[in-house]
Amino acid sequence: MNQKKKLYARKIFDMSRDQLVMKYHFLSHALYNLEPAGLHDTELDSFLYATEGMHFYYDEDRIIGDFMSGSKDTSRIYLHSVLHCLYLHPYFALQYENHELWDLACDLFVWDILDHLQPSDDRKMRSRLDDVKKTGSIMSAQMLYKMLDLMIKNKMLSRDDIKMAKNVTLEDDHILWYMPKRAAAGAGSGPKGQGSDNAASNYMAGNFTSVIRKWQKSADHAVAGLESALLRSGRLQGRDPGALVESLKGIRREEISYADFLRKFAAIEERMMIDDDSFDYGYYTYGFQLYEDMPLVEPLEYRELHTIREFVIAVDTSGSVDSDLLKRFLTKTYNILKESVFAEDGLDVRIIQCDAAIQNETIIHNDRDLEDYINDLKVYGRGGTDFRPVFEHIEEVRNNGELKNLRGLLYFTDGMGTYPKHPASYKTAFILSEPRRDPYVPSWILQYQLREDFTE
């Protein structure tokens, strides 16, 4: 693709976003959260418009064609994707088994939001959506999913109804929402190439917590802007702006599940290295003979390795750790970690109990080891809390030639203790067993507030 066409596509996007900013000032913060990226610079060629929460991907030919023909409103498509992110839809996707139904619930929800901002002429769709919701107020995509699922089970919703709703509400592709799960199934690790590699790796590596906070901050800006406009004029263009304010406030209450947090934390990364075994140097050298400076084939930049994937689970035993909760936590964590590695890889998990010092360490190689550990579990410690010994111990073990493939540290704690002064060279997440009382946590540590008892 020539630079001229790429430039035209970007200008169309910028113009579309500027129109939205002028029309919806309260969403200006959210509208600049996504970095535009043309699909020509990626290997994502199976869709036209999509986002994973950090980038907005568009097909350059399609965005130019839609603009010239007027068949599609680029600004509406972009606003549709931004609203998905604002309401954190990509980050809840893996919680739902029926991806088609979750996609539809999210699209219906966003259609409803857009209808609040600019009422639609589609009265049939409005009427059917109100029947689903039972009320004219904005609900969540999660509630819509449950209602749609119930209606299908009670045969109140047919395939034709679903098809009609999809045709009306579909604007973008949601394929990137399921990227970690697709990668675990061996379907590839997502976008590659200029402008998209960081997005894919960040999303899969678990750096989504900061992204969620960014969208929640945008929701706060939107609420402030809406409330200010309502105070100034007493009214706002659109249907029931008060419900829209309450809907945006609800974003702060949404929580990602521990399972999804951990899957993304432990997501499979792409393995970039030359595979000599599958590469024919004959064709490679013949290309240089024939064309002087151009080989006929290039070596593959990846290959499969049979490796052991290693994680450390540290347990803060300084307080009153409930042994039953700890057993459920360890079992849930181990099972999710096991799901998140390549099928041909092994999994080693070190469980460290620590208060102000290392009290116990056990290496789990398989399900039987975990079962034995759980059955014979004894909690050691009960002293003060110092997080540094665990980090120092990990470095010592790595220097001794162990933990060569360390994927990350999960620290089960209340968060009250002495932190290391310098960031670790591996991913670290603190699973907080209690609401935070101490405002200080180093920025390089991912945080997850545990609100589950793992009774299922």
Residue 328 lies in a domain: yes
In whole angstroms, give the CA distance from residue 58 to residue 56.
Answer: 7
Residue 264 lies in a domain: no
Q: Is the pLDDT of residue 260 over 70?
A: yes
What is the per-residue pLDDT for 157?
83
pLDDT in the model for residue 196:
40
If asked whether residues 24 and 158 sit together in one domain, one would say: yes
Question: Domain tally for the chain?
Answer: 3
Q: Using a CB cutoff of 8 Å and minimum separation of 24, what contacts does 326-331 make?
A: 326/377, 326/379, 326/412, 327/374, 327/377, 328/453, 328/454, 328/455, 329/412, 329/431, 329/450, 329/454, 330/370, 330/373, 330/374, 331/370, 331/374, 331/454
Residue 455 in domain: no
Please give the residue that has the higher pLDDT: either 335 or 130. Answer: 335
The last residue of a domain, from among 221, 256, 291: 256
> For position 136, what pLDDT does the model report?
46
pLDDT tens for 264-279 read 777 655 444 444 454 4
Any domain includes 263:
no
Least confident of 131-135, 295-299, 404-408: 295-299
pLDDT at 306 over 50: no
Of 151-160, 181-190, 314-323, the least confident: 181-190
Q: Which residues contact 20 (CB under 8 A, 6 or more apart)?
A: 27, 31, 75, 78, 79
Mean pLDDT in the chain?
A: 76
> What is the reported pLDDT for 438?
54
- Is the same domain home to 60 and 136? yes
Q: Is the pLDDT of residue 14 over 50?
A: yes
CATH of the domain at 434: 3.40.50.410
Share of the chain above pLDDT 70, in %: 67
User: Do 156 and 187 sit in the same domain of this protein?
Assistant: yes
According to the model, what pLDDT value does residue 194 have? 38
* C-alpha to C-alpha distance for 353 and 380, rounded to whole angstroms: 7
pLDDT, tens digit, 9 for 90 and up, residues 342-361:
555 678 899 999 988 898 99
Q: Do 215 and 279 belong together in one domain?
A: no
pLDDT at 409: 93
Asked if the model's pLDDT at residue 241 lies above 70, the reply is no
Q: What is the pLDDT of residues 219-231, one digit of tens each?
A: 888 888 776 665 5
Q: Which domain holds residue 340?
A: 308-449
Q: Are residues 157 and 282 in the same domain?
A: no
Residue 21 lies inside a defined structural domain of this protein = yes
Q: Which of 12-16, 119-123, 161-165, 333-337 is the most confident on average?
A: 12-16
The whole-angstrom separation of Cα 21 and Cα 29 is 9
Asked if pLDDT for residue 127 goes beyond 90, the answer is: no
Mean local confidence (pLDDT), 156-177: 87
Do 197 and 252 reside in the same domain of the chain? yes
Mark whether 228 and 338 lie in a shared domain.
no
137 and 280 co-located in one domain: no
Over residues 302-330, mean pLDDT: 75
In a domain, 194, yes or no: yes
Q: pLDDT band at 308, cuts 50/70/90? A: low
> CA triplet 166, 171, 177: central angle to 5 degrees?
90
Q: How confident is the model at residue 164 (pLDDT cuts 50, 70, 90)?
A: confident
pTM over 0.85: no
- Shared domain for 286 and 154, answered yes or no, is no
In this structure, what are the phi and psi dihedrals at residue 442, rounded to the nearest 5 degrees? -55, 140
Say whether both 227 and 359 belong to one domain: no
Residues 38 and 158 in one domain: yes
Which percentage of the chain shows pLDDT scores above 90? 20
Residue 112 lies in a domain: yes
Confidence band (pLDDT; 50, 70, 90) for 305? very low
261 domain residue, yes or no? no
pLDDT, one tens digit per residue, over 97-115 is 899 999 999 999 998 888 8
Residue 170 has pLDDT above 90, yes or no: no
Residues 357 and 376 placed together within one structural domain of the fold: yes
Domain boundary among 282, 303, 324: 303
